[in-house]
């Protein structure tokens, strides 16, 4: 046996590495904050803000201030009690230093300090400190200002007094470590939506957010580039009004439920509108539980049982002669469920599904009792709801027949696939991708230019149905939408949810929308994304949906060619090549590129720029889609003008 082999097999105590302090966070950051990309970067802010929210939930904080500073650092300040600074008995150092440098150290683990606390991963501010190039903390407490600075989680000096004050609270400023994160540029709108959400979920808290980064073309003396202030007196009722702003509501006021069952505070607001989608958003300790859980199950069971009992009692169901299911009670319903749980147990793929069994019964009981009282006290609204349910039941029966037409064929049989689909050869969904391409011309180029081993092409004929304004059976009757279902191999309905998407036979793990780089192409993108968000959200949640990014220009001079994806890139290319003898081609459509060009710019994994579609904030996405695809033009125009310049390449 060679020395090398002996060394490899010599596994002893010396091979065991112990990571001290916060080193583990820096070595495996994704384990603690999810990833080191856009989402993880913004999660740092949420962890710090969660500490301030905990103070507010405990009744000691009324104001929270968040700022993106000029150097892209972030400041979070509150007027709570301030992190304790006295000596910690076991650690023999300031409690402030313990909180900032030790994982799982803080008041939220002491139920005498906080009854409930937020924070999805529970890693706290020490994790933020570990992943920051620099952090400075000021504590206002006991009439003094205390301070400590850190570099990559390590204190630069002991906690010291730097002044006197008559206020209380904590101020934390941190700069994310550029050696850890792939991007360190914060997106103001992403943080803004989370602050808005927190203000609605915690009524009575004053939250201000501003962006101090210099905006090109704006005089710095004019103040911050952006500044927004949120304060909600009615909490979830204001939240519902915000979400349904672009929908026609069926009741003048939202139904509001607030109370406590078995020591669990429960707050619910719900409103019926004239749409055909179910929009329910659930939260536990301010965490958006995308995958639902026991609180959502309790809400659904309480809602269905109570409404059905009222509808039976009214005689309206017998007169309508229609069979009612649980789904019918939720069509056109916007609802927000917020519970506070002392010891939440999360499960599911993304750890955003509540598993506490005791919460289901508590929510079910609260909904049943309070909704029954509401229906008895508001007979006109109750009648409107039952009429909506009956209409939904009739539409569901029509949708079921239309859906059966979609699912009749065997998706793995070539005879069952759409005629225009050019399928790929590989049978492993994880290796396969499908392009939904605008028009037959571009579809022809894509079919010729693709890699047949793993790339499938399905040309779309014109613009698909706007599902935001269509009843469900109309969607399933649409030939283009039926082709999408059949090509993907998915079906509708699971044992848990009759409208959920069944992904067990999904044929591709990359679903790519490829349209022209013009206004019509953007419209088709929006129609497709609306369809996926309303009918196939599971595809987006699992990271399967992408937008292709074809180039806007080809700059050519002699035998040199430059593809440009933006106006800035075109201008830069013109400075590379000069003005003389240069030819600039503006691509108005995919069909203008030959198969080789389409491959090398938009389809080749080595060169293409794909934008992965993600949902950072489900409630915000719900509102945006209802606004973009609804009938009200002014808010749509304002949104497009405000956001058109923010398109970025994510993946």
Report the distance separating Cα 100 and Cα 130, nearest Å: 9
Please work out, in degrees rounded to the nearest 5, the angle formed at the alpha carbon of residue 246 by the alpha carbons of 291 and 286.
35
3-state secondary structure of 71: coil
Report the distance separating Cα 478 and Cα 65, nearest Å: 49
What Å distances lie between residue 120 and 14, 44, 59, 284, 289, CA to CA? 36, 11, 21, 9, 10
User: Do 370 and 259 form a contact (C-beta atoms < 8 A)?
Assistant: yes
**Residues with Cβ < 8 Å from 262, sequence gap 6 or more?**
358, 361, 362
Report the distance separating Cα 333 and Cα 496, nearest Å: 19
Report the distance separating Cα 307 and Cα 389, nearest Å: 9
Taking alpha carbons only, the member of 89, 93, 102 closest to residue 159 is 93
**Residues with Cβ < 8 Å from 135, sequence gap 6 or more?**
100, 128, 129, 149, 150, 151, 172, 173, 174, 175
User: Do 52 and 64 form a contact (C-beta atoms < 8 A)?
Assistant: yes
Q: Which of 197, 327, 438, 477 is catalytic?
A: 438
Q: Which of 520, 538, 592, 650 is catalytic?
A: 520
The reply to whether 423 belongs to the active site is no
The reply to whether 520 belongs to the active site is yes
Q: Which of 369, 518, 538, 569 is catalytic?
A: 518
Q: Which of 516, 525, 541, 622 is catalytic?
A: 516
User: Do 371 and 257 form a contact (C-beta atoms < 8 A)?
Assistant: yes
The reply to whether 516 belongs to the active site is yes
The reply to whether 650 belongs to the active site is no
**Residues with Cβ < 8 Å from 381, sequence gap 6 or more?**
250, 251, 374, 375
User: Do 196 and 209 form a contact (C-beta atoms < 8 A)?
Assistant: no
Paired with 280 in beta bridges are 335
* Number of Cβ within a 10 Å radius of residue 257: 23
Displacement of CA 539 from its chain's centroid (Å): 13
Burial per residue of 452-486, b for 16 or more beta-carbon CB atoms within 10 angstroms, e otherwise: eebbbbbbbeeebbbbbebbbbbbbbbebbbbbbb
Please identify which residue in the block is written with the tokens 């009282």. Answer: 373
User: Do 107 and 86 form a contact (C-beta atoms < 8 A)?
Assistant: no
* Number of Cβ within a 10 Å radius of residue 160: 12
Report the distance separating Cα 431 and Cα 269, nearest Å: 43
Nearest-10 crossing angle of helices 38-57, 188-201: 30
Tell me the catalytic residues. 438, 516, 518, 520
């Amino acid at each position: 046996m060679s020395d090398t082999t002996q060394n490899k097999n010599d596994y002893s105590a010396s091979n065991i590495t112990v990571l001290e302090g916060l080193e583990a966070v820096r070595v495996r950051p994704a384990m603690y904050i999810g990833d080191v990309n856009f989402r993880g970067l913004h999660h740092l802010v949420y962890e710090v803000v969660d500490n301030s929210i905990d103070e507010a939930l405990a009744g000691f904080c009324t104001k929270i201030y968040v700022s993106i500073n000029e150097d892209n650092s972030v400041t979070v300040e509150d007027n709570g009690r301030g992190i304790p600074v006295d000596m910690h008995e076991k650690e023999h150092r300031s409690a402030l230093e313990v909180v900032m440098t030790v994982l799982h150290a803080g008041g939220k683990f002491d139920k005498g300090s906080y009854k409930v606390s937020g924070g999805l991963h529970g890693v706290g501010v020490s994790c933020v400190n570990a992943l920051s190039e620099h952090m400075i903390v000021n504590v206002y407490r006991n009439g003094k200002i205390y301070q400590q600075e850190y570099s990559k989680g390590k204190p630069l000096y002991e906690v010291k007094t730097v002044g006197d004050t008559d206020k209380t609270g904590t101020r934390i400023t941190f700069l994310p470590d550029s050696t850890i994160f792939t991007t360190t540029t914060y997106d103001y709108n992403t943080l803004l939506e989370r602050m808005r959400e927190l203000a609605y979920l915690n009524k009575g808290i004053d939250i201000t957010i501003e962006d101090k980064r210099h905006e090109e073309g704006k005089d710095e003396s004019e103040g911050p580039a952006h500044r927004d202030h949120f304060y909600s007196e009615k909490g979830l009722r204001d939240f519902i009004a915000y979400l349904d702003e672009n929908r026609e509501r069926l009741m003048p006021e939202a139904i509001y439920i607030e109370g406590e069952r078995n020591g669990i505070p429960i707050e619910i607001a719900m409103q019926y509108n004239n749409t055909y989608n179910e929009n329910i958003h659930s939260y536990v300790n301010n965490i958006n539980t995308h995958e639902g859980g026991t609180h959502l199950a309790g809400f659904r069971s309480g809602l269905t049982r109570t409404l059905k009992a009222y509808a039976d009692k009214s005689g309206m169901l017998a007169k309508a002669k229609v069979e009612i299911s649980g789904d019918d009670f939720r069509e056109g319903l916007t609802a927000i469920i917020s519970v506070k749980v002392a010891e939440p147990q999360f499960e599911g793929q993304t750890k955003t599904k509540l598993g506490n069994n005791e919460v289901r019964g508590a929510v079910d009981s609260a909904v049943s009792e309070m909704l029954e009282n509401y229906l008895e006290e508001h007979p006109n609204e109750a009648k409107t709801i039952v009429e909506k349910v009956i209409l939904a039941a009739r539409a569901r029966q029509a949708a079921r027949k239309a859906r059966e037409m979609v699912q009749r064929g065997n998706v793995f049989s070539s005879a069952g696939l759409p005629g225009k689909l050019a399928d790929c050869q590989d049978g492993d969904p994880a290796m396969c991708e499908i392009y939904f391409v605008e028009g037959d011309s571009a579809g022809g180029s894509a079919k010729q230019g693709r890699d047949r081993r793993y790339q499938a092409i399905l040309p779309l004929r014109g613009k698909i149905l706007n599902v935001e304004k269509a009843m469900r059976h109309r969607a399933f009757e649409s030939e283009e939408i039926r082709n999408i279902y059949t090509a993907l191999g998915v079906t509708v309905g699971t044992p848990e949810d009759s409208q959920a998407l069944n992904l067990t036979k999904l044929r591709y793990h990359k679903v790519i929308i490829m349209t022209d780089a013009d206004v019509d192409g953007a419209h088709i993108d929006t129609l497709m994304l609306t369809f996926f968000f309303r009918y196939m959200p599971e595809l987006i949640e699992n990271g399967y949906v992408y937008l292709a990014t074809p180039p806007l220009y080809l700059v050519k001079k002699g035998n040199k060619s430059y593809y440009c994806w933006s106006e800035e890139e075109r201008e830069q290319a013109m400075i590379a090549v000069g003005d003389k003898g240069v030819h600039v081609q503006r691509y108005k459509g995919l069909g203008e590129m030959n198969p080789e060009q389409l491959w090398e710019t938009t389809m080749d994994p080595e060169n293409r720029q794909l934008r992965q579609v993600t949902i950072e904030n489900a409630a915000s996405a719900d509102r945006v889609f209802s606004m973009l695809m609804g009938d009200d033009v002014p808010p749509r125009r304002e949104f497009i003008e405000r956001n058109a310049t923010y398109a970025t390449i994510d993946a």
